[in-house]
Structure 1
Amino acid sequence: MEGELKCPMCLQFYCNPLLLPCSHSICAVCASKCQEPSQTFLSQLEGGVCSATPGEGDLKDFPDIDKISILSETDSGVVCNSRPSSYIGTPSIANIYQSVQFSQNPYGIKCPVCKKIILLDENGYKSLPCNKVLESIVEKFSHGKQHKPLTLYVNCQMCDHNEAKEAVVMCEQCNVFYCQSCKESCHPDRGPLAQHNLLDPIQGRALQRARNKGRELCCLEHEEEQLNMFCITCSMPVCCTCQHEGGHSQHDVQAIGAMCKTQKVGNSEDNEHLELSQILQSLSEKAKVGTEFIQSLKSMTDKVHGNCTDFEATVAAQCDALIEAIKKRKQELLVHVAEERDLKISMLKEQASQCTALLQRTTGLLHFSIEVLKESDPASFLQVSSSLISRVSTADQNFNKDMELTPRIATEFDLTLDSGPALHAIQTMNFFQLKGTAAVLSKFSNLLWRWRSDLAHYETPGKPSIVPEDCSAENNSVTIAWQPHMGKVVESYSLELDDGCGGDFRVVYVGSETICTVDGLHFNSTYFARVKATNNSGDSDYSDPISLQTAEVAWFSLDPFSAHPDILFSNDNQTATCNSYEHRILLGGVGFSKGVHYWEVVIDRYDSHSDPAIGIARFDVDKCQMLGKDEKGWSMYIDDKRSWFMHNNDHSERTEGGIKRGSVVGLLLDLDRHRLSYFVDGFPHGPIAFKNLHGVFFPALSINRNIQVSLRTGLEPPLESDSEEEN
């Protein structure tokens, strides 16, 4: 998805992305650099006019949105007022109103992707709308992937427009960015201004985004009206005044929320229009097929090596029979075989590489589209939905053709060695490929293969054997690899695992693969695994079992995928904070249902007497409230003086003693005795917090913007004191 989030001009992550009429986006700084006077593009536009007479031909290469806009504006008698007047979307529209537009639109930008020319009014690139969906996704992606903060260049708002310098501070109270000289002259550090809070430009930009978050977008023509309707004819958000009095009064206008829902999840009554979710599901299935096909190509490479080895052995045996006279020729034949092998491997690797590149682009588009679907602002979503649906539809239609789901070359070597002639023919001896007799030999080979397969199907497969050197255990997961008994047909394998306590075996995998990874096992447990093979004649005997030991203590990190979007992660997901004043819940990456486990939470930052809640939760706990408010969370919330235990909004066991910056809160989860207790700075804190805990529990905590915490895992459980045992 990373390629979708980079500007085509600077090739860096988007910073203040602006949405062009052609549906592409560009950074605000890049837009300012490529903006030129509209007269620069006059020759290009005139050339287009001279090449064809005005008519339908002028519109065929441009988006439907522009064609509809021309018709709707002409029919309604409104010229360039039924859509934002700040830009014109295509060269053909500019030719229609050429003399008027060059006087009203002094600036222009050429899209770096599609090379279309966009004419702008006197505000220039600043009149282009902000792509809020893309900006939100870039911000989340930069935090989730641990990228360095994106560099934001902010101009001083007090300088002249054409000579604006880079801002160095932003006043939180004035909401103005200042360069160094303007700060000294317009905002001196004395008098009432000395009490103002000055931020660096990056923090100021983040503050502005936080303030603007959730605000409704307003109509460009009626600035006091909110965009709450959507014109289907013009494919753009409008206000109620535009619907009743403006250029959209004769158009098909629907509620913006209903239109957003229709394009996201579709309308069961309307089968003519494909929505984004359906197309993504189809494309996702094809991407899965592509992934499996690439794996088969990689496995075919191994088969080429195996077939080559067998063929080399055959050639060597025939050549050795000709003793001294054939030795020189033998080397030449082996070289030829190696060249054939290299050619097959090269072609298979090239096809696998091309398919992998296509799959990466498809996966990136899938991830980007899923992030767009998460956008909660209908107007922002509808800005990009039409073009995104078109992109996904095109990718979906062309996937099978571009993927070429057929290997370009076979793994078999269609060569045979002619060793019948006498010694005088040795100098002319060479490989010959199957041509005229290929059909007969191929048919004979197929019949022979079927005959052998039929015989093999009447025999049960041999006992598979587990390969210990390919088996491993990591954290609470185990990987088991095995190989079949040679010479017998196997249709599938069944892998069985016990319960880690010497109990009965249970089936964990059935399929044709010879390696399997099993996740979600108990820590500090020894598991036994065995496998059997199956075909039409029956099952083989079980393989000899193998034992694998899971980790004694749990190593895990915080889970960014299940956390609330307001949570910000760093330090390889070991550290977290929040950008909201409200409590938001985040979970650990593993769940516990058995054994004794201990982990610690370090208070890295503590402001404003906040009260973080630390404990455990079910996976589906409500993440928009304080931990312990519902029946799926158990927590201790603690401030700088005291603490309480809380479950299902029931507060109990007030305990004196609080936390500060640098404090360490330990949690001892004993699922053998089904209880949870707490430690603060290495000492037991209060009585046993919760008892009768049964099921699967995830480490959890809830924080707000006044708290930053770090996680410590892989720790040995502390010894409980006698007083704790009595409690």
Structure 2
Amino acid sequence: METLESELTCPICLELFEDPLLLPCAHSLCFNCAHRILVSHCSTSKPLESISAFQCPTCRYVITLNHRGLEGLKRNVTLQNIIDRFQKASVSGPNSPNESRRPPRLSPHSVSARGSPALTSSVSSVTSPPPSTLAMSLEHQHQQQQQQQVVQQQHLRPLVGCQFCEQDPPREAIKTCVTCEVSYCDRCLRATHPNKKPFTSHRLVEPVPDTHLRGLTCLEHENEKVNMYCVVDDQLICSLCKLVGRHREHQVSSLSERFDKLKAFQVSPGRVSEAVMEASKTSAAQTLENNLTNLVKRNSELENQMAKLIQICQQVEVNTAMHEAKLVEECDELVEIIRQRKQVIAVKIKESKVMKLRKLAQQIANCRQCLERSSALITQAENSLKENDHARFLQTARNVAERVAMATASSQVLIPDVNLNEAFDNFALDFSREKKILEGLDYLTAPNPPSIRDELCTASHDTITVHWTSEDEFSVTSYELQYTIYTGQTNFISLYNSVDSWMIVPNIKQNHYTVHGLQSGTRYIFFVKAINQAGSRNSEPARLKTNSQPFKLDPKTAHKKLRLSNDCLTMEKDESSLKKSHTPERFSSTGSYGSAGNVFIDSGCHYWEVLLGASTWYAVGVAYKSAPKNEWSGKNSSSWVFSRCNNNFLVRHNGKEQLVEASLQLRRLGVLLDYDSNALSFWDAMNAQHLHTFHVSFLLPVAPTFMIWNKSLMLLSGLPVPDFVDCPEQQEGLCRQQDSPYVSSTMKGCH
């Protein structure tokens, strides 16, 4: 208690805080003490209102005040409530009648006395650093709402009068003694319950109405209090109900026992379900458990959401301040660039002016010199014309006439070459383009999400070329392509968050990219991210798949009476075929005219088709490498085939056969091997009809196998999976076969 009291003591008056203020540095100070600090800084020439700052007495942090002064600081309501509870606990014990009455204060949180965890957490919350201005305002609004709820509850609470007072009307009760079943005012409580035994054992609670104190009465027996609980009827009863009433044969329990069972989950909120299920299986307990669990969950979600919102508000303020500073910096740089360019252009104008004026001055001097010579010649000619002396006139007239004729003939001598384009009128300042750019100044935002164009994307068995478009192509600095194998997970958000499984191709400048080295017959998820200086945005996910693994017929496995085409895509029964050397992997038995593909598949989803032509006796499927080559495929546990025997269609595995409905006009058989999903399906590719699906837990790589007894077969491999096969939901529904047993007996016509 002494340690707690030191935490609640004002550093100025050394008393418990009274009307504490919450300073921006997270320390607290009494309002009156803060006022005294301001008064100490006053003088005759400096009024109190002019003081705009003071230092925190604890940490010397400078507290800046707004125009409201101390009223502009927030009240530490939580700390005041803690002090009120602390004072109550320090005056007397919880059962003492000498507990002093203090005016009730509003608190947004419940506080327990005597250093309880709630009190400790409240104190720690008081001393925690304050959030930003906006976040504090949000918390203040939340506290005001809770305070209003407390005020409303207090208004709804009935006023309880003292039942021991002799005056009329009685004074307001401050305590109710549960032992005496009487409510007392402060004076009557001190008179009737001195702080000594046996009164110290009386239980004192907050004032409650007399009806609540005396408890509930039985519905069937008036003036009888309920004191039992009927487990069968799930209701409260009295002793008479158990002795003579209709509950005498029922199982009952005490109220305290029933209360403990229903309230057991309050001991440990983390074990609500376990405690309630062990204590009681009744509908009431289950209802309480479900409602409380939902309420706690909702409150936790609201608290988390509010904490995130406050954190976002703080981040908004930080980012806003950062962007405002960046805006000022960028604008200052633009102004500085304009100022520098203004100086440069002004210097150029001055230099051009000096140069042009120098040229013009030279031309003016030339013109003046020519004009002087011309004027002198004119004067001399006029004087010659005025000469009356014949001898003198004849002596000078000829010379003057020659000079005038010469000057008239060569005008360029008298009139200098003058440049009339030196008036500086061909110079212009046109900043219209720059003005438009400046008028369009705005903050840069992250580009809009690009869109993957599925119809433009292409694929091979080991590559996929992804094409995309972007509305903000000019604002995009680069693109980033991310892809991973599609595992069937529909929650793309959680899939995207699993960063470890993603391959990333950064710094793509085009709107397309080809990914190499992919697994054949495999689905992939692709994202495209558009990036610029402001951020990035992702496209919607696109599911693309590589084509099936291309393969051919393996000549080393072909039966000696089979003839393969040069491209190893067609096999034909030929009794006159040349003899081939015997090898362990070659089909060798009489009547086992087969060949295998030249690949072994151990992953992915692969599709190929077989053109059956006019053949009426064949078998198509897959087999392990260890499958026997001296018997029909499907006769052992290492091979699975779809077969036609004249007019009968069947599937065969491990010597068991099952009839399959198919058209006699079946000319193109589709085979879908989904190794990862452990499924082998057969389709009528012409009519998009599902024929049969084997559900197999493949243990080893498998190779395609083909057998024929008449005519020929042609192989088409490396195909994309068609749409009618690639729908997982449709395939799931079609692939679930009825639990019909395989035909154990050998079918007629299959020998």
Question: Normalised by the size of structure 2, how large is the TM-score?
Answer: 0.24
**Structure with larger Rg:** 2
Greater RCO, 1 or 2 (C-alpha within 8 Å, sep 6+): 1
Question: Normalised by the size of structure 1, how large is the TM-score?
Answer: 0.24
